[in-house]
Chain A
Amino acid sequence: MSRLPTISLRVAATFVGLAGILYGPAWLPLVVITLLSLRYRAWEALILGMCMDLMWMQSAALLPSMPLFTLVSLVIVWGLEPLRAELMLA
C-alpha cells in the first residue's frame, strides 16, 4: 500500500488540528489527536497537544497552570499503543 495517502492524511489532520488550535473550539484538536492516535503512532499528536498549551496557557511557569493538553495527548497516544500493537495497524 502506498505511503503517500497515509502521509497526506496525517499532514491534513495535523493542519486541521493546528487550525483548530488557533480558531476552533478546544475539542477540535482533541478529536484530531484521538483520531490520529487511533490509527497511527502519531508523534504529531504530541506536538499538537504541546502547541495547544504553549499557545494558550496563562503563564510560562509549569505551575499554577498545568499543561493539560500535553498531558492528555500523552495519555491518549501512549494509552492507545497496546491497541495499535494488538491490531498491528501501525
Chain B
Amino acid sequence: MQYRGSSRVGKRRGLVLATAFVALALIADALSGGAVRAPLHAGAALVGGWVRGAIDTMEGHFSFGRSETQLAALAARAAEANRLQQENDQLRALVNVAANSQGKTAPVVSSLNASPYGTFLIGADSTSDIQQGDLVLTAGGFVIGRVSNVQGGVGIVSEILAPGNSSEAILHGAAITVEGEGGGNGEAEVPRAVPVAPGDVVTVPSLGARAIAVVGAIASTTASAAQTVYLQLPIDRSGLEYVYVTPSHN
C-alpha cells in the first residue's frame, strides 16, 4: 500500500512541476512583453509555410490516378501557377488600397479560424516597419483588425469582430455598438426607424471612417423598438493570403 501511495505521489509530482512550469512561463511572457511566445509564433509561421508548400506539391502529384512522371510534373507546375495567379490577384487588389493610404503588404502566416480569441498572425519582418496599433485592411479596404504585438518577425492581429470586442460604429447615420462574435461576424442593435438592408456598410469613425463589415441579415419584431442586425466581414477567411497594414493615423 505504501509503495503504491509513494508511486502515486511521485507521478503527481510530474503534474505539480508541469503546473509550476506553465505558471512561470506565462508570468515570464507577461513580464517580458511576449518574449516567450515569439519563438512559438516564428515556429508556427515556419510550419505554415511548409504545409502550404506540401499542399501545393500534393495537389500536383495526386491530381491524377497514376504517377506518370511527366504528367505529375506538369500538374505540379499547373498547381503552382494557380497559386501564383491567386497571389497575384490578391496583391493586385491590394494596390487599390495602397493608393489611398500608406502602408505595407503583409502575408498571413496562420489560420484565421484556429484562434478562440479572434486573432491571427502576419509576417512582420524588420523591413516592414509594422508596429503595434497599425490597422490591418483587406483588399476591399475593410478593417480586419489591429496589430496588437510584433515580435520575432511575426505580428499578431486582433480582429475588430473578435468575441467580446465592442466597437462604436455608424450605419446609415445612426450610431450603433457592434458586438464581435468571432469568425468575422458581429451584431448590433439598430433603431427600427433606420432603414437597413443587406449589404449596407458599417463604418467606424475612430478608424478613419473605414468600413469594418456589411449587413448580412436583419431580425426585427413589431414589439421591439430596435432591430438586430447581423454583420459579417466580406472576405474568404480560408483563402486570405495577404493583408495591407497601415498606420492608424492614416
**CB of A64, distance to nearest CB on chain B (Å):** 9
Which residues of chain A from 52 to 66 have a CB within 8 Å of any chain B CB?
A: 52-62, 65
User: Would you call A7 an interface residue if the criterion is a C-beta within 8 Å of the partner chain's C-beta atoms?
Assistant: no
Q: Complex formed: what's the CA distance from A58 to B19 in Å?
A: 22
Q: Complex formed: what's the CA distance from A81 to B16 in Å?
A: 12
Q: Closest chain B residue to A20 by CB distance?
A: B114
Given A41-B14, A67-B26, A78-B15, residue A60 in contact with residue B37 (CB < 8 A) = yes
Which residues of chain B from 39 to 61 have a CB within 8 Å of any chain A CB?
A: 40-41, 44, 47-48, 51
Give the interface segment out of B28-36, B71-79, B84-92, B170-178: B28-36
**CB of B71, distance to nearest CB on chain A (Å):** 30
List the A side residues contacting B17 at CB < 8 Å.
Answer: 43
Given A57-B117, A85-B8, residue A22 in contact with residue B44 (CB < 8 A) = yes
The answer to whether A54 touches B47 (Cβ under 8 A) is no
The answer to whether B148 touches A51 (Cβ under 8 A) is no
Q: Complex formed: what's the CA distance from A22 to B42 in Å?
A: 12
Which residues of chain B from 1 to 35 have a CB within 8 Å of any chain A CB?
A: 8, 11-12, 14-15, 17-19, 22, 25-27, 29-30, 32-34
**CB of A75, distance to nearest CB on chain B (Å):** 11
Q: Give A contacts to B, CB under 8 Å.
A: 20-26, 41, 43, 46-47, 49-62, 65, 67-70, 74, 77-78, 81, 85, 90
Given A55-B40, A67-B26, A70-B26, output 13 extra A-B contacts at Cβ < 8 Å: A22-B47, A22-B48, A22-B111, A23-B51, A24-B114, A26-B116, A49-B22, A55-B37, A56-B116, A56-B156, A58-B148, A58-B158, A77-B15
